Every structure is written in C-alpha cells, then in structure tokens.
Amino acid sequence: MELPKKVLSIIREIINEAPRNGLELLLVCAGAKPGDIFDFLSPLKARKLFVKYVEELKTQVPIDYMFYERRTDASNLLNFSELAHINEMIKDYVCYCESEQECGQIMYYNTLIVSQELALKVKALFEGKASKDYDYCVGVFYVYPRCCINANINGSGMKKFCPYTEHFWCTPNCKESKKIALKFKNTVKENFPEYMDLLKTFGRPVKTCL
C-alpha cells in the first residue's frame, strides 16, 4: 500500500531518531504488520514525536493507539517469550525516561487487522495480567505465524532470527514466515528503498531463509 506523503514525512522523522521504531511504524501504517509498541528501550525523542503526530496519522491511515504501564515481569507470562526479543529487553532494562510519567509505553495497531478487543488483551498482558490465550494474542499482534508459535512453545523451533522478520521460524522454509518477510520487504522497498539494509537487521541472516 502506498502511503500519503504526509505520513511518509512523519515516519521519516521518526526513523531519523529511532530507525527500527520508524520502520515498524511504516509496516503498521501500511498494513503489513498488525501492531507494535514504543517500549522503554525506544529513544524518548522518537516516542515524543509519535505522541506529537499520532492524531494526525490517525486521520490519514487506519491506526489507533493506547498508553499503558509496562510491568518489568510481564515477560514471565509468555511461554514463547524466546520467540521475541522481549526477555532480552527486560534483562537489559534501562529506563531512558526523564520522569516516571514518561515511562509509560505506547501500543499502536492497524485497526483493519487488530480489533480493539485483541488490542485490549495484549495491553493487559503487557501490564502483567495473565491468561492462557496470550501467547496467541501477542503472536497475532506481532504477526508471528501459529506454526512458529507452536514450534517455539514445544521447543522444536529454530531459535534463530531470520532476515526481515522478528520471530523465530519453525523451520527454515516456513511458508507463512516467508510470506511475512516478503510483505515487509516489499513495503519498505516501495516507500523507503534507502532503508532496505536497515530492514535486514530485523533478524539475523539464516542461509536458507530467502
């Protein structure tokens, strides 16, 4: 999906402050990724820019957002937390915030893909409230295929990141993962070809992936 010029200029501004967060925002705005967060490891300036612009973004693309207080022990609730970088983030927790108030996290999502009901469930997880559905809710939110979630819950997954995606693939040839990787790649290529190399850092190369 081609994005309006105004949206692209806002995203570019955020990419300049926090390249990865900016690219994630691009993928969500374009509908390639269901949702994402500006978490406590995101640069404060990028989060401030998002807050400044989000109402304007909402008029141009189908996104919505929620603030929440992230609990540092929330990752313990996730069976498949190794699938994401969540554990690492918690371990390396450093609060870049200038004040307690600014420590809140921002969760945003594409309303054409994520229902408000799902968004609220994911928010509850990040706030530290447990439920047996959450692995799947968070998997849907971050676009991790069900086959890969299952593989990581039962321990048969690859335990390696692949290029362009943020999750551990169930197998090097996972069809769903390849589809997602291609969607991410094409979205960045279409809107910001100069950031293709940056997208590669979403995961670590695995020879057989793409």
Least distance (Å) between residue 62 CB and Zn ion: 27
Axis crossing angle, helix 19-29 with helix 44-60, rounded to the nearest 10: 20
Least distance (Å) between residue 151 CB and Zn ion: 6
State the sign of the Cα–Cα–Cα–Cα dihedral 141, 205, 95, 76.
Answer: positive
Binding of Zn ion by 83 (CB under 5 A): no
Least distance (Å) between residue 6 CB and Zn ion: 36
Binding of Zn ion by 206 (CB under 5 A): no
Stretch in the footprint of Zn ion (CB under 5 A) among 41-49, 87-95, 131-139, 169-177: 169-177
Q: Determine the Cα–Cα distance for residues 93 and 27; give it in Å rounded to an integer.
A: 25
Binding of Zn ion by 148 (CB under 5 A): yes
Binding of Zn ion by 158 (CB under 5 A): no
Binding of Zn ion by 209 (CB under 5 A): no
Among candidate residues 174, 198, 173, 171, the one with its CA nearest the CA of residue 184: 198
Size of the site for Zn ion (CB under 5 A): 5
Residues 6+ apart with CB under 8 A from 119: 35, 64, 66, 107, 109, 141
Among candidate residues 18, 19, 17, the one with its CA nearest the CA of residue 197: 19
Least distance (Å) between residue 167 CB and Zn ion: 9
111 vs 150 by CB, closer to Zn ion: 150
Using CB under 5 A as the criterion, which residues of the chain lie in contact with Zn ion when the complex forms?
145, 147-148, 170, 174
